Amino acid sequence: MIGTTGHRLGMPWDLTDKTIVVAGGGSVAPGMSIGRASCVTYARLGARVCVLDRDLSSAQETVQLIRDEGGTAYAYQADMAHEEEIVNTFRILSEQHPHLDVLHHNVGIGKTGGPIETSSEDLDRIHAINVKSLMLCCKAVLPSMVERSTGAIISIASVAGLRYLGYPHLAYCTTKAAVIQMTRMIAQQYAPHGIRANTVVPGLIDTPRVAANVSHVFSNDLENAKAARARQVPLQRMGTPWEVANACAFLASDAASYVTGTELLIDGGLTGKYV
């Protein structure tokens, strides 16, 4: 059955026959990260998933989760801090998977502190991983997308790139703001080629990163950290990686065929609270 828009009606989030590359598809600590949840969600919707991570064993763990459910996934190692590794890994990827349909850039690091506490070396390192690597990944996939007149890019930013959330996080906040603007520019430049680019903007999400990197802000008390973050959110809870992954799946799918150059907030109302 064909709908009035010309699209075949059915499962609009079906990702069958799509190859999706997730940069940052592992996890910094045991558990379910946004990148890992996104990889599993893509696979459940029928996609072939290429999982990139600087920690190959973490990428392989994600791949095993997918294969245990009967999905298709492949693990690759690439440190997003090093241009040569990104270039070489995407060269291998393009040889093994000539049609890369979706790039999901799920990379981000930070360091607590304002301008006094942040060294120039810190800023350079965080910018290289959070911003420069996005440009390099796009540089690698866009030519083939242009050639086929189709493709989607999904970048993961943060509400910290939009608002001050109560503690100084200068390098992370400014680089995530840059991710949003870079994605907007890519969307405008490549829209005539049939390529969409959008940013998912998570709020306070309950991931392994909270345990690994955030709890020290609250005197290394993880439960206190989670409770304090939940109190900030109008919905009175942190989000889950799966809730962010669902948004990514929408943007990767044909259901979002008319969505480009925008930001999708997954924040439980947090950003609106600070307007």
Residue 4 has pLDDT above 80, yes or no: no
The total of structural domains in the chain comes to 1
Domain-embedded: residue 168: yes
- In the structure, what pLDDT confidence band is assigned to residue 220 with cuts at 50, 70 and 90? low
The predicted pLDDT at position 80 comes to 96
Task: Give the chain's end-to-end CA distance (angstroms, integer).
Answer: 44
**149, exposed or middle or buried, with CB in 10 Å at 0-12, 13-18, 19+?**
exposed
Does residue 2 fall inside a structural domain? no
In angstroms, rounded to a whole number, what is the distance separating the alpha carbons of residues 166 and 2?
Answer: 50
Specify if 6 maps to a domain.
no
CA distances 94 to 19, 20, 60, 246, 251, Å, are 11, 12, 19, 26, 22
**Rounded Cα–Cα distance for residues 214 and 165 (Å):** 13
Read off the pLDDT band of 219 (50, 70, 90): low
What phi and psi values does residue 146 have, to the nearest 5 degrees?
-65, -40
Q: What is the reported pLDDT for 212?
A: 60
Q: Does 13 fall in a domain?
A: no
- pLDDT tens sequence across 158-187: 999 998 888 799 999 999 999 999 999 999
Cα–Cα–Cα angle for 275, 202, 128, rounded to 5 degrees: 105
Which tens digits make up the pLDDT trace of 105-146? 999 999 999 999 999 999 999 999 999 999 999 999 999 999
Q: Give the pLDDT confidence of 11-21 residue by residue, as tens digits.
A: 578 999 999 99
Position 229 confidence tier, pLDDT thresholds 50, 70, 90: confident
**Residue ranges with strand state E in 95-240:** 102-105, 151-156, 195-202
Neighbouring-strand partners of residue 154:
104, 198
Please indicate, yes or no, if residue 173 is contained in any of the structural domains.
yes
- Please give the positions annotated as active site: 172
Q: Please report whether residue 183 resides in a domain.
A: yes
The mean pLDDT of 260-267, rounded to a whole number, is 97
Tell me if 70 is assigned to some domain: yes
Residue 122's domain comprises 19-273
CATH number of the domain bearing residue 23: 3.40.50.720
Position 231 in a domain: yes
Q: Which residues, including other chains, have CB under 8 Å from residue 163's CB and lie 6 or more apart?
A: 270, 271, 274
Q: CA–CA separation, 107 vs 127, rounded Å? A: 11
